[in-house]
Structures are given as structure tokens and as C-alpha cells.
Amino acid sequence: MCILFIAVDQHPDYPLIIAANRDEFHARLTQPSHFWKNKPHMLAGKDLQAGGTWLGVAKNGHIAALTNIRAPSKERFDAMTRGELVVNALQYKGSWADHTQHLKNTATDYNGFNLVYGDWQNLQVFNSHTQEHHALTQGVYGLSNAQLNTPWPKTQQGVNALNALCQSKQPLEVEQLFAILSDPTQASDETLPDTGIAKPWEKMLSSIFIKSPDYGTRCSTVITVDHHHALNWEERSYDPTGRVTQTQAYSFIINS
């Protein structure tokens, strides 16, 4: 997962809204979202190379999502797969305070990550580089490949768009959320972040929706939870040209 926009208690009909894009190499084998056969309570896509996932929900209301921290000078080839962090959080049965401490204790086993995790009414985010932990209280948040609400152009752009939707008097339409996620606008050269990669890559990665022959946005996911605890999930998968190839949709009542 490379960018998430999260609204907590901002929309009159939906106390939680999550809109997220997963960016990855197109050659990396992936299963679209489904309830896992060996974990039937868990809804998520699956990375077939390492076995983990980037975003998922559980029927008891647990939610977890991962973004990588872009820091090429700190990358290790012997690190554990970050995708297991989402699976572990979705299955976790202890206190979230204990889970946060576990993340702090084991952060160096992985390359840099942000993990959003918790119950849908009590989400938090942990950054492995800073070891900082933040509760997601009321507000609109953007999380990409740096710290929470780092003012990259695409992060600010998505936060502003989601905030405008939440403040609108009109009913929320899922297409409006996918429109935020499908924006290909790249940052101007003078506003590009400097994360240690080549400028052409920095430019390509500066849009919310990324499109190139080898690497780009593989799927977009929209999650909403209403006041009756009904969770709706819709996912769209894309080919290298940005064309939708599959759509997955699920709904269930959280049984917490």
C-alpha cells in the first residue's frame, strides 16, 4: 500500500472512511481481495510472492494497512516481509497497547513501514523509523511513504479532497472516493520530495494514481463503516495502462 486517506468521524453517515491505493511492480503476483480460506474471518488481497497483504479487515472490526517508508539507503535484503504485519494485526487478540509495544520491539526486523491498525473505532498508526505512535482521533489523515500527514503534494491533495467530500451536504458516492484515488496529477518539480531516489522516479511517484509499464497503482480500495456497523469494501484492480481489470465488493455487519 502506498497511500491512504482516512476520515474519522467527519462524515454524517460514515464514522470511518478509508480510501487507499496499492502501488507495486506489475510483475509481482497478487490475488485480489477475498476471505482467506485458512483465515475465513479475514478479508484482504494476498501477495503471492511473500504471502502477506497490504490492507485488510476482519469480521470483528479489526482493520490494518501498511505503507512502506521510502528510504533506499536503509533497505535490507534480509529483512522480514512487511506484509505479515497486517495479517498479524488482523488476527491479534490482546490489548492494542501491548501490540504497539511489540511493534516497537520488533521494528528493526523489517524495512521501514507505517502500520495502521486497531479496532475500526480505535485506529492508530505506528512509524518504524521514528518509533512514534499516533491515535487516529477525529479528523482527516493522509499517509504515504513518509510520516503521517507529511505534506507531500499528493498527500495534501487527497486529504483536501476527502475533507471536502465529508463536509458536503450531498450523500457520499463511492465513485467520488475512487475519483480521488484515480487522480494522475504529478507534483511540479519544485515541490517534489527528496527521498533518495532518481528524480524521474520521484516525479512518477508524485501522483496519487501511478501509471507506467513496469510499476504503478495495482488496485484501489474504498472502505466505509456506517452507524449501524455495516462495513462495505470495494476494490478495483488495474493493468499497466490503468484499465480496470477486476472489481471485488463485500459487505458485512461487524460482529464485535
Query: Which tens digits make up the pLDDT trace of 158-211?
Result: 999 999 999 997 899 999 999 999 999 999 999 999 999 999 999 999 999 999
Alpha helices in the chain (DSSP H): 83-91, 96-106, 153-167, 174-181, 199-204
For 86, which DSSP code? H
pLDDT of residue 169: 78
Average pLDDT over residues 149-158: 96
- Res. 1: pLDDT tops 90: no
Instruction: Tell me how far apart the alpha carbons of residues 155 and 47 are, in angstroms, rounded to a whole number.
Output: 25
Instruction: Tell me how far apart the alpha carbons of residues 104 and 256 are, in angstroms, rounded to a whole number.
Output: 27
Task: Give the model confidence (pLDDT) of 86-123 as tens digits.
Answer: 999 999 999 999 999 999 999 999 999 999 999 999 99
Which residue ranges form the domains of the chain, and what is each CATH number?
Answer: 3-253 (3.60.60.10)
pLDDT of residue 170: 86
Task: Give the model confidence (pLDDT) of 51-66 as tens digits.
Answer: 999 999 999 999 999 9
Instruction: Tell me how far apart the alpha carbons of residues 14 and 230 are, in angstroms, rounded to a whole number.
Output: 10
pLDDT of residue 102: 97
